[in-house]
């Protein structure tokens, strides 16, 4: 089974890229972020014609997540509220950043973590508070007996210096500050491991390159799109690769797919 994650930066702008990539990469599950489209306008038909079932949660202009699957998801949770109930979860769910389901026995949780804008900003505080909500959400899954899961998506955090082309000044940079890294580590402490790092310890492997300053051409990137697994699933992992190819296509997303292969 192959599970992939890709921030497409608008699914409508990237539809031909998505179709081309799926033609060459027959993944079983594709987690998408930043679809930037309300549910009524999600390009469901074009993707169904390619053999994918679409499960999505979107909003106007911003955010939006989706899971494309070859077979139906057996369970679907949209947002935090199905597990955590109304209250703070409902407020966080105004931004469509969380979608989860079970695919052939594998629980897949797809996230678009808030960017945070700048350290100390209102959005930065929101990002940190969002991690608190995420921790409660994952603990609620665990309390219900879902001990194994795949947690993937755009985390907007590079956890280690080897995940950044140049870590100079990272302490004051959004996506690399110590407080952000601690917030993400607090999630991993629930029992998750970075499957890309399970196979590859080298620096220089990135999933996002800034559109500006020719970042991709010079490989000035960041590894901020992650696939995390609990031990039971990690034992089934065969490979985890970043596919840089779509980032080189014309009018690309600024992110590129990360692909996990599990033993069947």
Partner DNA sequence: ATGGCGAATGCAATTCGA
Catalytic residues: 112, 154
Helices (H), the chain: 15-24, 44-48, 81-84, 88-92, 122-143, 178-188, 195-199, 231-234
> What tokens appear for 142 in the block?
């665990």
Which is it for the CA torsion 159, 163, 167, 173, positive or negative? Answer: negative
Kindly give, in sequence order, each residue whose CB lies less than 8 Å from that of residue 209, ignoring residues fewer than 6 positions away: 215, 216, 219, 220, 221, 222, 247, 254
Please pick, from the candidates 9, 57, 110, 230, the single residue that binds DNA as defined by CB under 7 A: 9
Dist CA 98 CA 95 (whole Å): 9
Least distance in angstroms from the C-beta of 85 to DNA: 25
User: What is the chain's length?
Assistant: 264
Which C-beta is closer to DNA: that of 158 or that of 262?
A: 158
The reply to whether 156 sits near DNA by the rule CB under 7 A is yes
Give the total of residues touching DNA (CB under 7 A).
Answer: 29
Distance in Å, CB of 17 to DNA, minimum = 9
CB of 47 within 8 A of CB of 20?
Answer: no
Residues 71-110 contacting DNA, CB under 7 A: none
User: Minimum Å distance from CB 213 to DNA?
Assistant: 5
The residue from 12, 48, 199, 232 that contacts DNA (CB under 7 A) is 12
**Binding positions for DNA, 110-149, rule CB under 7 A:** 114-115, 117-118, 123
Nearer Cβ to DNA (106/226): 226
- Answer for which of 16, 26, 51, 61 binds DNA (CB under 7 A) is 61
**Least Å from the CB of residue 254 to DNA:** 6
Q: What are phi and psi of 249, to 5 degrees?
A: -75, 170
Residue 224 found at the interface with DNA (CB under 7 A):
yes
| Whole-number Cα distances in Å, 147 to 15, 58, 224, 232 | 35, 28, 25, 9
Tokens at 65, concatenated:
């997540």
36 binds DNA (CB under 7 A): yes
154 binds DNA (CB under 7 A): yes
Q: 199: which 2 tokens?
A: 């196979």
**Identified binder of DNA from the candidate list 48, 62, 199, 231, rule CB under 7 A:** 62
Q: Give, as ranges, the residues between 228 and 257 that touch DNA (CB under 7 A).
A: 251, 254
| Interface residue list for DNA (CB under 7 A) | 7, 9-10, 12-13, 34, 36-37, 60-62, 114-115, 117-118, 123, 154, 156, 174-175, 208, 210-213, 222, 224, 251, 254
């Amino acid at each position: 089974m192959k599970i992939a994650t890709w921030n497409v930066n608008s699914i409508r702008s990237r539809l031909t890229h998505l179709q081309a990539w799926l033609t060459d990469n027959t993944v079983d599950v594709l987690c998408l972020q930043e679809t930037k489209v309300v549910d009524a306008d999600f390009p469901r038909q074009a993707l169904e014609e390619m053999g994918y079932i679409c499960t999505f949660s979107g909003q106007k202009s911003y955010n939006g997540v989706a899971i494309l699957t070859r077979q139906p998801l057996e369970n679907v949770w949209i947002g935090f509220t199905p597990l955590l109930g109304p209250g703070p979860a409902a407020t966080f769910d105004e931004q469509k950043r969380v979608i989860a389901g079970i695919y052939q026995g594998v629980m897949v949780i797809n996230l678009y973590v808030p960017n945070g804008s700048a350290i100390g900003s209102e959005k930065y505080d929101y990002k940190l508070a969002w991690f608190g909500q995420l921790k409660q959400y994952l603990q609620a899954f665990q309390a219900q007996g879902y001990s194994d899961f795949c947690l993937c998506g755009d985390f907007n955090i590079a956890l280690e210096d080897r995940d950044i082309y140049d870590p100079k000044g990272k302490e004051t940079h959004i996506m690399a500050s110590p407080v952000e890294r601690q917030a993400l580590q607090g999630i991993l402490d629930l029992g998750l491991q970075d499957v890309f790092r399970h196979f590859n310890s080298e620096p220089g492997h990135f999933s996002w390159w800034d559109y500006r300053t020719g970042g991709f051409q010079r490989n000035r990137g960041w590894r901020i799109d992650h696939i995390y697994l609990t031990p039971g699933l990690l034992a089934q992992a065969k490979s985890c690769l970043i596919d840089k190819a779509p980032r080189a296509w014309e009018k690309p997303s600024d992110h590129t797919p990360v692909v996990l292969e599990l033993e069947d």
